[in-house]
């Protein structure tokens, strides 16, 4: 990991702590200091110059191209060219002036600087004296605007076509350093991208107007891989059966995304030709399957992924229907089970960029955990099994019509929140949030003991809800609704699931030297996590004993993170650095994991809960 280096920016006196090798420009982004730039830190626009006050910074060829000899002698440098290899101090003369920005994610302020740029230029007319090619003339015009690009194959034909009518006004569409399109006339008013969160269950896409920074449409659908397995473990099992099955899953992922895209296009009226970039977050398995990458190395010990790095790929190669030369950008992952979705969560919550010490938990088949602050942070993943998704629970079910999603036990009555009740749905089973709720309520009413056993018949006899405790096929169970019970075995499953996540949290916090009282906020993320009752999460011991008001639902933070990276190249650069910044802790590597896990099977005492 290596020690972090300190960068100090004058005159604001802001500091950033970054790993060696980060550029002054990106380090400034970390510090929330937007140095002016149009090229996004590629050394081509020359706007991001800073003066080095303390520390080494040899001028590079880009410095020589964009700065004059006097400036170089006076220690002016392009901040995007200076890699930090020691503590460094510099003067920043030009911050972004009047930046366009939007509030996104969890109260994050995001500058509107998408990786997609549209540049309208009027090419100089060719003549017998100026026989430069149209491409050269276009490149020169773009260079003046601060862009250096490589043309995609089709761009050459487009350029010829755009110039055919002797109109020299064209718009270059640039994604990163790829010249992906040349459009006739000035088309700078239409520029779109889509942010995707590829969940194991649900795929959500948000079509964004990159100029306005506003969503134009949102669409979601069930992941078409679902028939091949309900969770990541089952999906991987299917993929490992053979190349045909792997291809089945790849095609299902591609079809799912394309269906969402079609829906976005039809809902918004935006044609696919105006959508130039996709940013995708998702767990490492989902990203692997999308690219047809055999996930067996993720499934089998020592659990390493084929790739964790962010990928910039042609959308056409991936099979996704945006502009034919559009690009796909995936988020990086931290580990095989701390995926790109979690990195997007971190971007959306700003977890490692703020001073506050926070904990983020994404609950699913795995519980992914990130904890820390701008000072130091660590992440891990704990296997939770399918309990939270309704698996292995006698009357467990997914969060669809008839699922009990909330339970209150008071004065001898059982109050239920049932999905679809307004349309007459009757309770049919328990979804994850309902499961946690009912267990928490059973604990609070005393029907369930600290060790996870139901109270015995003698004790139950005097309890207002004791009558609901009865035998169900030879196993002790609590009747929640007619035909819906929670058995002693179900409670054991939940204990195991929450025990694993709680242990993961404990190990991560331990590595950072943190206690529950150090936590200023606990964020529950993911489509399931957001529905958990914070109080219940605390009562069952899924999260550390903190005041209930410190526990918040972060919503679909992965989608928000993807949107932020789509809208801001600075946020993207930060996302790309996260795997170098957040320490990865392998739970299988924790020596006392099993002992801790067994200790965490028990529920917190009611005294502990009340004290927090």
Residue ranges in contact with a second copy by CB under 8 A: 58-61, 63-64, 81, 83, 85, 126-136, 150-154, 156-157, 159-161, 163-164, 288, 291-297, 301-309, 311-314, 317-318, 335-336, 584, 586, 588-589
Least distance from C-beta 586 to a second copy, angstroms?
Answer: 5
Angle between helix axes 569-581 and 557-567 (nearest 10 degrees) is 120
Peptide bond into 302 cis (omega under 30): yes
Least CB distance from residue 240 to a second copy, whole Å?
9
Q: Which of helix, strand or coil describes residue 546?
A: coil
Nearer to a second copy, 13 or 125 (CB): 125
Q: What Å distances lie between residue 361 and 80, 138, 384, 449, 495, CA to CA? A: 34, 49, 12, 26, 17
User: Is the CB of 406 or the CB of 579 nearer to a second copy?
Assistant: 579
Cα 415 vs. chain centroid, distance in angstroms? 35
Number of H helices, E strands in the chain: 20, 29
- For a second copy, the closer CB: 125 or 422: 125
91: enclosing H helix or E strand: strand 88-91
Q: What is the phi/psi pair of residue 427, to 5°?
A: -60, 125
Query: Closest by alpha carbon to 594, among 512, 499, 514, 491?
Result: 499
List beta partners, residue 477. Answer: 470, 487
Shortest distance, position 569 Cβ to a second copy, whole Å: 18
Token pair listed for 55: 């520390």
Inter-CA distances, 579 with 230, 271, 437, Å: 28, 35, 34
Q: Is the peptide bond before 265 cis (omega within 30 degrees of 0)?
A: no
Considering the complex, state which of residue 51 and residue 398 has its C-beta at the smaller distance from a second copy. 51
Closer residue to a second copy in complex, CB, 78/106: 78
Q: How far is the CB of 328 from a second copy (least distance, A)?
A: 9
Q: In this complex, which beta carbon is closest to a second copy, that of residue 129 or of residue 458? A: 129
CA–CA dist 477, 518 (Å, integer): 38
| Smallest gap from residue 47 Cβ to a second copy (A) | 20
* Residue 93: CB minimum distance to a second copy, A: 22
Q: How far does Cα 371 stand from its chain's mean position?
A: 15
Sign, CA dihedral 107-111-114-119, equals positive
CA angle 96-99-101, nearest 5°?
135
Shortest Cβ distance from residue 528 to a second copy (Å)? 26
* Least distance CB 249 / a second copy (angstroms): 12
DSSP three-state, residue 176: coil
Q: DSSP string covering 177-198, please?
A: TEEEEEEES--TT--EEEEEEE
Question: Which residue, 21 or 420, has its beta carbon nearer to a second copy?
Answer: 21
CB 361, CB 367: distance < 8 Å: yes
Of 250 and 395, nearer to a second copy (C-beta) is: 250
Report CA 269 to chain centroid distance, whole Å: 27
CB of 82 to a second copy, least distance (A): 9
Q: How far is the CB of 381 from a second copy (least distance, A)?
A: 11
61 versus 474: smaller Cβ distance to a second copy: 61
- R_g of the chain, CA atoms, integer Å: 27
Nearer to a second copy, 235 or 476 (CB): 235
Q: What are phi and psi of 292, to 5 degrees?
A: 70, 25
| CB nearer a second copy, residue 307 or residue 576 | 307
The distance of closest approach from Cβ of residue 85 to a second copy in the complex, given in angstroms and rounded to an integer, is: 8
The CA distance from 143 to 454, in Å, is 73
d(CA 590, CA 595): 10
In terms of phi and psi (left: phi > 0; alpha: psi -120 to 50; beta: otherwise), the region of 282 is left
Yes or no: say if 516 and 544 are a contact pair by the CB < 8 Å rule.
Answer: yes
Q: Name the residue nearer to a second copy (CB basis): 96 or 307.
A: 307
Cβ at position 383, least distance to a second copy in Å: 14
């Amino acid at each position: 990991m290596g020690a972090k280096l300190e960068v100090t920016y004058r005159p604001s006196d802001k500091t950033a702590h970054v790993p060696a090798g980060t550029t002054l420009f990106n380090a400034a982004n970390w510090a929330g200091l937007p140095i002016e730039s149009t090229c996004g830190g590629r050394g081509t626009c020359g706007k991001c110059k800073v003066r080095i006050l303390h520390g080494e910074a040899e001028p590079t060829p880009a410095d020589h191209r964009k700065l004059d000899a006097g400036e170089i002698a006076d220690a002016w440098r392009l901040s995007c060219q200076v890699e930090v290899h020691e503590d460094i101090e510099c003067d920043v003369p030009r911050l972004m002036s009047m930046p366009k920005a939007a509030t996104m994610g969890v109260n994050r302020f995001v500058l509107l600087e998408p990786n997609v740029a549209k540049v309208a230029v009027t090419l100089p007319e060719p003549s017998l004296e100026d026989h430069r090619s149209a491409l050269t003339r276009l490149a020169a015009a773009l260079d003046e605007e601060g862009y250096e690009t490589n043309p995609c194959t089709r761009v050459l034909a487009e350029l010829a076509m755009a110039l055919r009518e002797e109109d020299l006004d064209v718009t270059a569409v640039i994604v990163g350093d790829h010249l992906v399109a040349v459009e006739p006339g000035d088309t700078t008013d239409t520029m779109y991208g889509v942010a995707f969160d590829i969940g194991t269950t649900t795929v959500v896409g948000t079509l964004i107007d990159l100029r306005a920074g506003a969503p134009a449409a949102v669409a979601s659908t069930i992941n078409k891989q679902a028939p091949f397995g309900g969770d990541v473990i089952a999906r991987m099992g299917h993929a490992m059966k053979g190349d045909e099955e792997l291809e089945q899953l790849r095609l299902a992922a591609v079809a799912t995304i394309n269906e969402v895209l079609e829906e976005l296009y039809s809902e918004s009226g935006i044609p696919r030709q105006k959508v130039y970039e996709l940013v995708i977050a998702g767990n490492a398995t989902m990203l692997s399957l999308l690219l047809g990458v055999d996930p067996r190395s993720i499934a089998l010990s020592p659990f390493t992924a084929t790739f964790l790095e962010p990928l910039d790929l042609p959308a056409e190669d991936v099979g996704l229907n945006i502009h034919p030369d559009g690009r796909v950008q995936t988020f990086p992952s931290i580990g095989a089970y701390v995926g790109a979705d979690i990195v997007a969560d971190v971007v959306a919550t700003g977890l490692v960029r703020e001073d506050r010490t926070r904990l983020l938990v994404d609950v699913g088949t795995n519980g992914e955990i990130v904890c820390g602050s701008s000072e130091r942070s660590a992440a891990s993943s704990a296997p939770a099994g399918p309990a939270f998704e309704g698996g292995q629970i006698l009357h467990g079910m997914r969060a669809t019509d008839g699922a009990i999603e909330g339970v209150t036990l008071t004065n001898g009555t059982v109050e239920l929140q049932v999905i679809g009740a307004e349309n007459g749905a009757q309770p049919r089973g328990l979804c994850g949030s309902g499961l946690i709720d009912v267990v928490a309520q059973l604990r609070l009413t005393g029907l369930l003991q600290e060790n996870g056993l139901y109270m015995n018949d003698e004790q139950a006899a005097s309890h207002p809800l004791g009558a609901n405790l009865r035998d169900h096929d030879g196993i002790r169970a609590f009747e929640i609704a007619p035909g819906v019970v929670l058995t002693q075995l179900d409670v054991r499953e939940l204990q195991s699931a929450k025990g694993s996540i709680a242990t993961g949290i404990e190990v991560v916090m331990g590595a950072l030297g943190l206690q529950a009282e150090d936590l200023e906020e606990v964020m529950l993320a993911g489509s399931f996590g957001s529905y958990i009752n914070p109080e219940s999460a605390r009562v069952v011991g899924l999260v550390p004993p903190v005041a209930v008001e410190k526990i918040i639902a972060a919503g679909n933070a992965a989608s928000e993170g993807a949107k932020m990276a789509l809208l801001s190249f600075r946020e993207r650069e930060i996302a790309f650095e996260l795997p170098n910044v957040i320490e990865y802790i392998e739970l299988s590597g924790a020596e006392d994991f099993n002992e801790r896990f067994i200790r965490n099977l028990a529920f917190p005492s009611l005294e502990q809960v009340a004290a927090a």
